[in-house]
Amino acid sequence: MTHAIRIHQYGGPEVLSWEAVSIGNPAAGQVKLRHTAVGLNFIDVYQRTGLYPLGDFPQTLGMEAAGIVEAVGEGVEGLSPGDRVAYAMVLGAYSSERLIDADKLIKLPDSINDETAAAMMLQGMTARYLLKNSYPVQRGDTVLLMAAAGGVGTILSQWARHLGATVIGCVGSKEKADLAHAQGCHHTILYAEEDVAARVRDITGGEGVAAVYDSVGQATLISSLDSLRPTGTFVSFGNASGPITDFNLGLLAQKGSLYVQRPTLGTYVRNRALLTESAEDLIDVVAQGIVKVHIGQRYALSDVAQAHKDLEARKTTGATVLLP
C-alpha cells in the first residue's frame, strides 16, 4: 500500500497526516516511482503554514526525493523500470510511491547514493544558481552567507570556496560555527551575539563583501545590507525568520548603490535544458568530492512532524533525509 504525508489545512506540524493513498498507473509521459529517500527543505515549512499557498486540499507535501522507476507510461523515452533517479521542485515527495512527469527526473550515476541524492538536489541546485547566476562569484571575492551550517549553507560554502571566494558564514551557535568551518567557511560570525557588519568590515579591511546570500530574511536584512561593499549584491533567497515586506528601495542608494535580487530555484530549472545543465553540474561537483553533502539527521517519513519541529527550532544541521 502507498502511504503519503498529506495536509488538509495550513498550520503547525500537527497538520501533517500519514495516510494510505492509491496512485494508479502512470499516464502518458509519466513514471511511477518508488521513493527510497526524501529530502526535507525549509520550503516544506512555508507550504505547510500557507506562507507559500498551495492549491486545493488535500495536498501531499515534499519537494525533493530519490527513488527507483517502477513503471513508465506511454511515450516515455530514456527511462526504464529499475533506473535510479532523483528530482527537486515537484510537490508530492512525502510519499512511499508517486506518479511524476518523466521530464522532471534526473538519472543518478553509481557514485551518488540515494540518500545523498535526496539531500542534495534542491539545496545543491539552489547553491549553484546563487553562485553562478544571482551573483556570479569571482576568484578573490569575499562573500557572506547566512545559516552557514544549514542544508543550503553547507553546500554553498564549500562550492563558493572551490570557486575561489573567501567565505564568511553566519551561524546560530558555537557548535554550528565549528561545523561551518569544517564545511568550507574561512570565517564565522555568531549573528545573534556579534555585530555582523562590524565583523565583516574587520575581515575585509573596511571594504565589505561583494555579495550576501541571505536565507534568513527579516531578521538579517539591515546587517546584510550594511555588510556589502559599494555596488555589492544582496541576494535574499529565503524567509527562515519571516519574509521581508515593504522593502524601501531608497536603502539601496543610501548604503552604496546596491543591487538586490529575490530569486527562486524554479526559475533556474524552468525547462528541461536548464534542469539538466544544473543537475549535471551539481552531480559533477559531488561526484568529484568538491562538495561533500553533509546529512546531519535522518527521520522516518512517518515522523516528519518531528523533523519540521526540529528544523523550525534551529536544531538541525546540514541536510535532513526522510526515509519512507
- 256 is an interface residue for ligand NDP by CB under 6 A: no
Kindly state the smallest distance separating residue 69's Cβ from ligand NDP, in Å: 26
Residues 141-160 that bind ligand NDP (CB under 6 A): 147, 149-153
Closer Cβ to ligand NDP, 50 or 78, answer by number:
50
Interior angle at CA 80, CA 319 and CA 64, nearest 5: 20
C-alpha cell belonging to residue 50 = 500557507
The b/e string for 184-208 (b: 16+ C-beta within 10 A; e otherwise) is bbbbbbebeeeebbebbbebbeeeb
Site string for ligand NDP, 118-137 (x = CB under 6 A): ----xx--x-----------
Question: Given phi > 0 = left and psi -120 to 50 = alpha, else beta, which region is 140?
Answer: left
Q: How far is CA 54 from CA 75, 199, 215, 230, 268, in A?
A: 29, 40, 21, 39, 20
Among 30, 41, 142, 204, binds ligand NDP (CB under 6 A): 41
Contact window for ligand NDP (CB under 6 A) among 7-15, 91-99, 251-259, 260-268: 260-268
**272, 102 contact by CB (below 8 A):** no
Rg over alpha carbons for the chain, rounded to the nearest Å, is 20
Among 168, 237, 283, 324, binds ligand NDP (CB under 6 A): 237
- 263 is an interface residue for ligand NDP by CB under 6 A: yes
Among 26, 62, 92, 172, binds ligand NDP (CB under 6 A): 172
Q: In the complex, which residues of this chain contact ligand NDP (CB under 6 A)?
A: 41-43, 122-123, 126, 147, 149-153, 171-172, 176, 215-216, 219, 237-241, 263-265, 311-312, 314, 316
